[in-house]
Amino acid sequence: MQPDNSIATPVIAGNWKMNKGPSAARLFARRIRELAPWSDDRTLALIPPAISLTALAEELGGVEGMLLGVQDIHWQEKGAFTGETSAGMARDAGASVVLVGHSERRHIFGETDEETRLKVKAALTAGLIPILCVGETEEEREAGRVAEVILRQLDAAFEGLTPEEIARCLVAYEPVWAIGTGKTATPRDAANAHGILKDRLEELTGTRGGAGVPILYGGSVNAENAADLIAADNVDGLLVGGASLEPESFAAIAEAAATARR
């Protein structure tokens, strides 16, 4: 089975977190248009704060190989949920991808595995591509629980989905201890975790290769380490936080990753 999101890999996604309002997003977009790091041998995604999505979509909407997204959604379509954004609204504003279960959502805002399941389903129903984030804390790693934790998060979020629905998702392995800390997993750590996830995707979809679901690595990725990480087994892309905030560094990561894949 081919993934029906037909996403070209490597995927290089920039998660801006709570950085850049609409004006700053527009400046970024204009500079990235000059640098034009897109090409048919990669997929780029920019994931700004929801309030800046329309500005980015006005500048970059329709650029081939460049997807836009949001960092979170609520699972209900609409209603009395003050402060929330639905998948359909994000889609309407120009999103085609959505992060689900980012470690900051899980650890700062107390998001549960059950909520990630509801969000993945809502994203798929609205035609968004979910990027499901999984990853262990330092404590869990030291206790030898990497596989247990990431598989629990994966199984919970994909529970009840058909293989075809799973094939429309992306997964990101982001060890919590590597996010925003400057500590990166070694390519070997990444390959190990990605191999574990790939095996489970094969089981869940009943296909060799896990229906081609791309697995991204995230956690202190930068232009210097991108090539080594992308060269690791089963690393199909990178989810970049801090280093995605400057157009030059985001473009350099995209170039390094695509070059290393050739």
Using CB under 6 A as the binding rule, whether residue 193 contacts ligand PGA is answered as: no
Annotated catalytic residue 136: no
Catalytic residue (choose from 115, 136, 174, 255): 174
Least distance to ligand PGA from the beta carbon of 208, Å?
29
240 binds ligand PGA (CB under 6 A): yes
Q: Indicate whether 47 belongs to the interface with ligand PGA (CB under 6 A).
A: no
Tell me if 239 contacts ligand PGA by CB under 6 A.
yes
Closer by beta carbon to ligand PGA, 57 or else 243:
243
Could you give the CA distance from residue 85 to residue 174 in angstroms, rounded to a whole number? 24
Interface with ligand PGA, residue 179, by CB under 6 A: yes
**How many whole angstroms separate alpha carbon 11 and alpha carbon 23?**
26
Q: Tell me if 189 contacts ligand PGA by CB under 6 A.
A: no
Half-sphere exposure of 112 (CA within 13 A, CB side): 4
When binding is defined by CB under 6 A, the residue of 3, 10, 212, 219 that contacts ligand PGA is: 219
Chain-centre distance for alpha carbon 28: 20
| Cβ-based neighbour number of residue 51 at 10 Å | 14
Task: Give the nearest distance from C-beta 97 to ligand PGA in angstroms.
Answer: 13
Of 237, 241, 233, nearest in space to 254 by CA: 237
101, 135, 242, 247: which one binds ligand PGA (CB under 6 A): 242
Per CB under 6 A, which region of 19-27, 113-121, 141-149, 240-248 contacts ligand PGA?
240-248
Residue nearest to ligand PGA (CB): 241
Tokens matching residue 119: 């969000």
Would you give the DSSP letter of residue 110? -
Give the active site residue among 74, 102, 136, 194.
102
- Token couple for 238: 């990178």
The SS3 call for residue 102 is coil
Q: Is 241 in the site for ligand PGA (CB under 6 A)?
A: yes
- In terms of CB distance, is 218 or 237 closer to ligand PGA? 218
Site residues for ligand PGA, 99-158, by CB under 6 A, read: none
Tokens of 223: 């232009």
Q: Which is nearer to ligand PGA, 134 or 154 (CB)?
A: 134
Q: Which helix (H) or strand (E) holds 120?
A: helix 113-126
Nearest to ligand PGA of 72, 165 (CB atom) = 72
- Determine which residue in the list 111, 136, 165, 174 makes contact with ligand PGA, applying CB under 6 A: 174
49 versus 242: smaller Cβ distance to ligand PGA: 242
Element at 251 (helix H, strand E): helix 247-261
Q: What is the DSSP code string of 159-226?
A: TT--HHHHTT-EEEE--GGGTTTS----HHHHHHHHHHHHHHHHHHHTSTTGGG--EEEESS--TTTH
List residues near ligand PGA by CB under 6 A.
15, 174, 179-180, 218-221, 239-243
Active-site residue set:
102, 174
